[in-house]
């Protein structure tokens, strides 16, 4: 089997099913890790405070950056007044998609679109940017199918297209189109996961849903553009040893194989890392790692998108076990086998990263966790047989934000960008959330 090679985009990227478990006091990882104090040279700043209501609130999916340096993201709630999406009795709206552009030393925030329930509700997935500047994503709920007594709709896949001609206004309308409305089990998925959509060179989209499908344990799907719209195909139905309930998207290698994680199922029902390979007219699954409930240092409940490095090694995270708070792991392919390593183990109670990882050109890994209650942004640096851990910012839940469950983005200067779902403006119950930047 050839070593998989990564695509140009390292996809990163979650709604978390909390699994109750007793905390175990475990031994230190066999692979030593050097703990480094919080980096003092980093400069943290909030570049946008969400105000709630029509301006949106609770940003949790993460930030993506285009080649011009613009930032794009979503807020799960808020936007246009929509009673059907009244989430907490005081705030209304089905969520928004926004853009931030840098002007001088500051940033300009623009709402690109608001959802209305029928077009989607609760956009929790990381935006995917196409080469023509169109944005693709999903909403966890919404649409016309009835999949739940508690939330309207089974979810949607959408596209946002910029204006066809140059717009002189500060705020220009983008065109929102539903590409697919999920119908639920048994023939379709339901509740798209937080991991990002993956687009191949032909413009096909690949993603996952947490539930739905033949066994109501989630699916991997493909959306293909045609002259008459988009065609949806279920590539794989999850069940049992092959994994269940994916909490992240898929990443595509140059051989056309798909990789991802599930938060349940597998050997001990605590999740797997899987590979899907096209075989004839269908797809075959190989579980390349099954997390073990009796080996807590392995980690449990993997979430977010896995990512490749230039050598074809696969990286990801778990939200539980390890030292109690989840792990960062690596799978490397050698001698026709995938070899599993834990790079770092978090202490705490299910405080590990919910979003995916980000890798820079030097091979450093970045992510965000809920460690210490309000969470932090961390960096892992490779060394001689060990990885060094640095906390870049510890959130307080106040004006700097809190609960940074999002995926991160990085620019050529090494500046990091992300979201925090709580804190910031206090117009919402726990704060409306922020967009932040860390400058080295």
Which is higher by pLDDT, 219 or 370?
Answer: 219
Residue 231's SS3 state is: strand
The domain tally of the chain equals 1
Mean per-residue pLDDT for 300-322?
Answer: 92
Q: What is the pLDDT of residues 279-290, one digit of tens each?
A: 988 999 999 999
Q: Is position 158 within any domain? A: yes
Task: Reply yes or no on whether the pLDDT at 67 is more than 80.
Answer: yes
Which is higher by pLDDT, 430 or 283?
Answer: 283
- pLDDT at residue 149 in the model: 55
- pLDDT at residue 41 in the model: 56
Mean per-residue pLDDT for 132-148?
Answer: 89
| DSSP state, residue 165 | S
* Contact predicate 393/421, CB 8 Å: no
Task: Reply yes or no on whether the pLDDT at 86 is more than 80.
Answer: no
- pLDDT at residue 390 in the model: 94
> How far apart, in Å, are the Cα atoms of 61 and each of 125, 139, 223?
5, 11, 21
Q: Is position 314 within any domain? A: no
Cis amide prior to 194 (ω within 30 degrees): no
- pLDDT at residue 164 in the model: 76
Task: Reply yes or no on whether the pLDDT at 48 is more than 90.
Answer: yes
Mean per-residue pLDDT for 144-152?
Answer: 71
H/E stretch holding 237: strand 229-237
**Confidence band (pLDDT; 50, 70, 90) for 36?**
very low
**Confidence band (pLDDT; 50, 70, 90) for 311?**
very high
- pLDDT at residue 16 in the model: 35
> Which stretches of 50-193 are assigned E, i.e. beta strand?
64-65, 71-75, 96-103, 106-114, 128-129, 135-139, 156-161, 175-181, 189-192
Q: Is position 203 within any domain? A: yes
Q: Order of strands, edge to edge, in the sheet holding 282-290?
A: 251-252, 258-262, 272-279, 282-290
Mean per-residue pLDDT for 147-153?
Answer: 68
> How far apart, in Å, are the Cα atoms of 161 and each of 124, 131, 175, 277?
19, 12, 5, 32
Which is higher by pLDDT, 170 or 432?
Answer: 432
- pLDDT at residue 214 in the model: 97
Containing structural domain, residue 175: 69-193+195-237
Q: What angle do CA 377, 194, 357 make, to 5 degrees?
A: 35
Mean per-residue pLDDT for 74-79?
Answer: 93
Average pLDDT, whole number, for the chain? Answer: 85
- pLDDT at residue 12 in the model: 33
**Confidence band (pLDDT; 50, 70, 90) for 88?**
low
Interacting residues of 287 by C-beta distance below 8 A, sequence separation 6+: 241, 242, 243, 266, 272, 273, 274
Mean per-residue pLDDT for 266-277?
Answer: 95
Q: Is position 280 within any domain? A: no
Which is higher by pLDDT, 51 or 35?
Answer: 51
Mean per-residue pLDDT for 190-218?
Answer: 94
Strands 71-75 and 416-420: unpaired
Q: Is position 10 within any domain? A: no
Q: What is the pLDDT of residues 344-391, one digit of tens each?
A: 998 876 677 888 899 999 999 999 998 878 999 999 999 888 899 999
- pLDDT at residue 171 in the model: 66
**Confidence band (pLDDT; 50, 70, 90) for 66?**
very high
Mean per-residue pLDDT for 52-68?
Answer: 92
Q: Of 25-29, 311-315, 347-351, 376-380, which range is least confident?
A: 25-29
Q: Is position 168 within any domain? A: yes
Q: Is position 426 within any domain? A: no
Which is higher by pLDDT, 300 or 88?
Answer: 300
Q: What is the pLDDT of residues 114-125, one digit of tens each?
A: 999 889 999 988
H/E stretch holding 44: strand 43-49
Strand partners, 296: none
- pLDDT at residue 350 in the model: 62
Strand partners, 316: 329
Task: Reply yes or no on whether the pLDDT at 28 is more than 60.
Answer: no
Task: Reply yes or no on whether the pLDDT at 224 is more than 50.
Answer: yes
Which is higher by pLDDT, 423 or 166?
Answer: 423
Task: Reply yes or no on whether the pLDDT at 206 is more than 50.
Answer: yes
Burial of 368 (0-12, 13-18, 19+ CB in 10 A): buried
Rg (CA), the chain: 20
- pLDDT at residue 168 in the model: 64
Q: Is position 108 within any domain? A: yes
């Amino acid at each position: 089997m050839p070593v998989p090679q990564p695509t140009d985009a390292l996809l990163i990227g979650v709604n978390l099913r909390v699994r109750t478990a007793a905390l175990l006091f475990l031994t230190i990882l066999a692979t030593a890790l050097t703990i480094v104090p919080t980096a003092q040279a980093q400069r943290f700043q909030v570049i946008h405070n969400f105000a709630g209501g029509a301006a949106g609130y609770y940003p949790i999916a993460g930030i993506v950056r285009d080649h011009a340096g613009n930032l794009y993201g979503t807020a799960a709630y808020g936007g246009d007044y929509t009673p059907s999406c009244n989430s907490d009795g005081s705030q209304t709206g089905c969520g928004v998609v926004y853009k931030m552009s840098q002007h001088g030393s500051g940033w300009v925030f623009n709402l690109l679109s608001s959802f209305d329930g029928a077009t989607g509700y609760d956009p929790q997935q990381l935006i995917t940017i196409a080469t023509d500047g169109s944005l693709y994503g999903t909403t966890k709920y919404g649409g016309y199918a009835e999949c739940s007594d508690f939330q309207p709709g089974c979810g949607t896949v959408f596209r946002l297209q910029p204006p066809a001609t140059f717009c002189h206004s500060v705020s220009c309308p983008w065109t929102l189109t539903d590409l697919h409305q999920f119908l639920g089990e048994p023939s379709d998925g339901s509740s798209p996961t937080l991991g990002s959509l993956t687009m191949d060179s032909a413009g096909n989209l690949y993603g996952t849903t947490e539930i739905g499908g033949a066994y109501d344990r989630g699916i991997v799907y493909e959306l293909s553009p045609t002259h008459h719209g988009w065609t949806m195909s279920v590539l794989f139905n999850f069940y049992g040893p092959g994994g269940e309930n994916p909490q992240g998207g898929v990443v595509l290698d140059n051989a056309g194989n798909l990789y991802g994680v599930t938060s349940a199922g597998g050997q001990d029902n605590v999740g797997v890392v899987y590979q899907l390979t096209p075989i004839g007219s269908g797809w075959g699954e190989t579980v390349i790692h099954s997390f073990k409930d009796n080996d807590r240092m392995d980690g449990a409940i993997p979430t977010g998108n896995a990512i490749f490095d230039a050598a074809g090694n696969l990286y990801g995270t778990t939200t539980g076990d390890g030292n109690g708070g989840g792990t960062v792991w690596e799978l490397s392919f050698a001698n026709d086998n995938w070899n599993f390593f834990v790079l770092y183990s978090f202490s705490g109670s299910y405080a590990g990263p919910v979003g995916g990882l980000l890798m820079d050109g030097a091979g450093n890994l970045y992510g965000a966790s809920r460690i210490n209650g309000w969470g932090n942004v961390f960096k892992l640096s490779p060394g001689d047989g060990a990885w060094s851990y640095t906390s870049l910012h510890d959130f307080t839940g106040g004006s700097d934000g809190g609960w940074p469950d999002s995926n991160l983005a990085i620019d050529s200067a090494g500046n990091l960008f992300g979201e925090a779902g709580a804190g910031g403006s206090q117009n919402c119950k726990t704060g409306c959330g922020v967009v932040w930047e860390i400058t080295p």
